[in-house]
Amino acid sequence: MESFGPEHMSSSSETPQKKNSVKSSGGVTPLMKQYLALKEQYPATVLLYRMGDFYELFGDDAKIASQILGLTLTKRNNGGSDDTPLAGFPHHALDRYANRLVRAGHKIAICEQVEDPKKAKGIVKRDVIEVISAGTATEDNYIDEKTNNFIASIFYDTDRTGLAICDLSTGQFWVEELSARELEEELARLEPTELVMSETVDESTIEHLLRQISRPVITRYDGWKYDLDNAISVLTTHFRVASVEGLGLDSYPVGIRAAGALLSYLKEQKKNGLQHISSVQPRYLGEYALLDAATIRNLELLRPLNAEDAEGTLLWTLDRTCTAMGGRLLRHWITHPLKDPSKISDRLDCVDWLRKDVFARGEIGMALRSVADIERLIGRIVFERANGRDLVSLMRSLRMFPRIIQIAASGAPSFISMQLDFIGGFDELADRIENTISENPPVSLREGNLIRPGVSAELDELRDASVNGKQWIANLQKTERERTGISSLKVGFNKVFGYYIEVSKANSAAVPEDYIRKQTLVNGERFITPDLKEKEEKILGAQERMADLEYGLFCELRAEVAKECERVQKAAEAIGKIDALVSLATVASENMYTRPVLDDSTNMMIRDGRHPVVEKMTGAEQFVPNDTSIEGDQTRILLITGPNMAGKSTYLRQNALIAIMAQMGSFVPAGTAEIGVVDRIFTRVGASDRLARGQSTFLVEMIEVANILNNATDRSLVLLDEVGRGTSTFDGISIAWAVAEYLHETPGRNPRTFFATHYHELTELASLFPRVRNLHVKVKEWNDRIIFVRKIAEGGCDHSYGIQVARLAGVPKDVIVRAKEILANLERMELTPDQKPALAEKRSGRMQPSSVIQTHLFVGEDSSLATPSISPHQPILDELKKIDVNAMTPLEALTKLAQLKKKLD
Ligand code: ADP
Ligand code: MG
């Protein structure tokens, strides 16, 4: 073993000799031959090669592991020519290390010994039993409980793209067909961790895609796997149907190709079957109000813009789910609001019922809290990864169903009663598990204590024998002490010698004749007797047989439960829905939300609307509610002006959030809300608001604006927050104006638009366009402070607010006066008679000397705004310039300051 690094010795009997190691001149050891053959089959993976109790990595894999896992890199020094790097770790660290490799974006192939090393002739047979990548990780340690781990396969055709999505941990699998643009948006909503696509897809396509979505792992896959024939054959074989029509996929010609390739890929990675992928659903995006990546980000639906606070998202506000299924579904509902008012109503009815019926909500919630992640559990059961605890956990979850049914049977609206059908009829399965598996089974499957008494007569007999034997041994110490008169005699057990009798040296003389000496210690000796060994054999034999028997019985049960996969999955889905609804009802009740009214109009009538997240931050009493009234065609664009920090952005977002909440089936933070269902929501935030994200290019902002102008419809909702800010003022105003005009004038593209801007010039739009309405956020002055009253009112804002704010902030009076002049000039947009910009024009004569100094210090020397030719205070300024502040003590500085002041006076 030394050739594989001294620190990880394997107990295996195979020891590649140093003299013919990896690539020595004499050829390759059989072991390395095996390794290299496997590596060839899984070239793009980090191969973890099991040797005894260790996983070993070779070559580049070892380098990667040492980098990411911090393992010591060793080299096989074989006379200089061979320096294959090596690294390894003990097998029990697999989960931890594999997880880190996967998170770092690597694909790992786990190679196990697939035969008993004791029985192997020569090299132990090994095979890759599983490949784990970001998108195919299913174990709890790799993935988050309340988030789906989606893998997506994409097939690009000339004008459509096929998208197949799977969460291997839950068995969900569905297919969509969409345009390239819709694809990007859908991926932004689903956030897959891995994208699979044909190796023929060109780099630029991928680059473009990656600009839109958070970084998944990209897997290039054989192009032919995307062939229609291959796809159809893989799908029909897996789902055991004669044709794809049987799957409802006949109108998804490109979707099928994405789905078939994905299934091929998954089958290659997971060898023990994918039976838990029991159906493939065709999905139609037209059902949902579409939210694109920028909107999800800007509205902070799932993640805060400021990554530091984990709170502050809509998900955070609404998620009070008790189960993992509910958590994952709620997330999906938030990013996929519905469009059909009657479907929305179905959900709202349930939220309404659960909100009012406090008892039902409490009881159902209580039951749900005891429901484990059965969707992933059944996956593990099918994968043959589940242990005794998993089965017990499933059983305990199933036991909660009757209570939920009992509570919901009376009075629950139809959407909930429909779910009850899916969670009924599990008693028998639960009984079967409960009657078989012991109450507190161990993690391990090989150590016994898994199966209850009464399940197998043979097992019970063996147990009795073992218990009796143990009892006999337990008595032995007493009887032998009496027989020999050695009061310190002990009976013990160790793995090497089994049971023994230990006698101290002092008592050696008293040892009876029938004792057989086995081991000599410093202070004593260990003996056995034929009787003892006979009993020992029985006990150990029984234990081994019991462990085998229990394991067999367990696997039998697990396979039986696996057959119920589809039914459990449906139940999991139903539980998720009930849970999400309970969560929505809970927040509705706690936050005083009301039931929205949805229809097919394009209205948006909200009285006393609130921002669901900001009100949590400020406290509900502190939050100032505001109205929104967009009715019929009379209003299309609301132009909201007001100083910084007044509450414009908050108002914009609260309207969009209320629409999303309403359409996902939630109650809303408002006195009343009537909303014509929205088909898409667009949210654009002017560049500088996103400086912190390092994405503040004006170009990005404009690309997003272009998307709105090209895709918004009369049913859409558009938020434009300070659009145009990322460029110069004139540029910005012009663009903002033209965008507003376009949205107002272009037939079929008249969305409900909220436009927040500090360009008060835009308020003039309202005088030109009948469906533009001005709103402003009120502020008050009080003593020398500005009070933000957060109230939205009709009409444009007092445009000199910025200057007033400056005044209130203590900017010297002369600067304020000057600023007012400049403003007046700007507003007239004039040029002076000698063709200079009016910006530089003065109206009130020369400034006073003292103000010159202040301005001078304030704006910097090269400012064109204030450049007096000679100042009477030049000597003082010169002196000031010469001062090296760093070289002065505070006292010196103070003295100097006093001197200068004196000179000035
Ligand atoms: P603006 O976009 O006009 O600069 P914001 O919408 O970002 O202003 O609001 C600034 C802050 O004011 C918010 O972070 C929030 O804490 C608070 N705020 C905004 N609207 C309200 C409101 N209606 N009631 C209470 N506080 C509010
Ligand atoms: Mg703002």
Please report, for the chain, how many H helices and E strands are present, in that order: 30, 27
Paired strand residues for 132: 108
How much is the pLDDT for 853?
35
Among protein residues, the one whose CA lies closest to atom 17 of ligand 1: 647
CA of 262 to the centre of ligand 2 (A): 43
Read off the pLDDT band of 6 (50, 70, 90): very low
Q: Over 70: is that where the pLDDT of 207 sits?
A: yes
For ligand 1, atom 10: residue with the closest CA: 645
The crossing angle, in degrees rounded to 10, of helices 341-356 and 414-423 is 80
State which ligand 1 atom lies nearest to the alpha carbon of 650.
Answer: 6
Beta bridge partners of 75: 85
**What confidence tens digit (pLDDT) does each residue in 752-811 have?**
999 998 777 788 888 888 899 999 888 877 766 677 888 998 888 765 567 777 777 778
pTM (2 d.p.): 0.80
Taking ligand 2, which is a single-atom ion, which protein residues have CB atoms under 5 Å away? 649
> HSE on the CB side for 489, CA within 13 Å?
25
Count Cα atoms within 13 angstroms, Cβ side, for 719.
26
Query: Residue 86: phi, psi to the nearest 5?
Result: -135, 150
Locate the ligand 1 atom nearest the alpha carbon of residue 622 and give its number: 25
| pLDDT at res. 829 | 59
Cβ atoms of 352 and 336 closer than 8 Å: no
Residues with Cβ within 6 A of ligand 1?
614, 618, 622-624, 642, 644-650, 790
What is the pLDDT confidence band of residue 3, given thresholds at 50, 70 and 90? very low
C-beta of residue 416 within 8 angstroms of C-beta of residue 350: yes
Closest ligand to 688 CA?
2
Residue linked to tokens 């399965």? 429
Ligand 2 centroid to Cα of residue 651, in Å, is 9
Kindly identify the ligand whose nearest atom is closest to the C-alpha of 645. Answer: 1
Tokens at residue 248, please? 């409802």
**Ligand lying closest to the C-alpha of residue 643:** 1
Over residues 495-541, the pLDDT tens digits come to: 888 889 999 988 888 888 889 988 888 888 999 988 888 888 888 88
Q: Comparing 538 with 688, which gets the higher pLDDT?
A: 538
Model pLDDT, residue 714: 93
Q: What is the tens place of the pLDDT at every residue in 402-417?
A: 999 999 998 899 999 9
Residue 210 makes CB contacts below 8 A (sequence gap 6+) with 218
Pairing of strands 194-198, 150-156: parallel
The mean of the pLDDT values for the chain is: 85
- Ligand 2 centroid to Cα of residue 650, in Å, is 7
3-state secondary structure of 683: strand
CA distance 141 to 696: 36
Q: Please tell me the residue having the least CA distance from ligand 1 atom 4.
A: 645
**CA quadruple 410, 416, 418, 423: dihedral sign:** negative
Distance of CA 439 to the CA centre of its chain: 34
Structure tokens at 793: 């009112």
Nearest-atom number in ligand 1 for the CA of 611 is 23
Q: Which stretch, 123-137, 206-220, 323-337, 868-882, has highest mean pLDDT?
A: 323-337
User: Residue 391's pLDDT is what?
Assistant: 97
Q: Using one digit for the tens of pLDDT, what is the confidence trace for 234-291?
A: 999 999 988 888 888 888 999 999 999 999 999 988 876 788 898 899 988 889 999 9
Ligand 1 closest atom vs CA 610: 23
- Residue 832 pLDDT greater than 60, yes or no: no
**Residues 582 and 656 sit within 8 Å (Cβ to Cβ):** no
Using the atom order of ligand 1, give the atom closest to the CA of residue 643: 3
Can you tell me which atom of ligand 1 is nearest the CA of 653?
6
Closest to 275 (Cα-Cα) out of 379, 377, 188: 379
Helix (H, G, I), strand (E, B) or coil at 720: strand
For ligand 1, pick from 306, 614, 652, 787 the residue to mutate: most ligand atoms within 8 Å of CB.
614
Number of the ligand closest to the Cα of 644: 1
Q: If you average pLDDT over residues 547-576, what whole number do you get?
A: 95
Q: What angle do CA 265, 87, 40 make, to 5 degrees?
A: 35
| pLDDT bucket at 845, cuts 50 / 70 / 90 | very low
The pair of three-digit structure tokens given for residue 103, joined into one six-digit string: 């998170």
Could you tell me if 604 and 718 are in contact, meaning their C-beta atoms sit under 8 angstroms apart?
no
pLDDT class of 78 with cuts at 50, 70, 90: very low
- pLDDT for 165 equals 96
494 versus 397: the higher-pLDDT residue is 397
Cβ(100)–Cβ(54) below 8 Å: no
Give the pLDDT score at 687. Answer: 59
Percent of the chain with pLDDT over 90: 45
How many Å lie between the centroid of ligand 2 and the Cα of residue 686? 9
pLDDT tier at 827, thresholds 50, 70, 90:
low
Pairing of strands 717-721, 752-756: parallel
Which of 417, 370, 412, 418 minimizes the C-alpha distance to 394? 370
CA 17/CA 1 separation, integer angstroms? 8
Provide the terminal-to-terminal Cα distance of the chain, rounded to the nearest Å: 90
Residue of the CA atom closest to atom 25 of ligand 1: 623
614 alpha carbon, closest ligand: 1
Ligand 1 atom, smallest distance to 625 CA: 23
pLDDT in tens, 650-664: 999 999 999 999 999
**Which of 627, 650, 755 has the most ligand 1 atoms within 8 A of CB, as the residue to mutate?**
650
Instruction: With CA atoms as reference, report the closest residue to 277 among 437, 188, 169, 400.
Output: 169
Whole-angstrom distance, CA of residue 469 vs CA of residue 539: 6
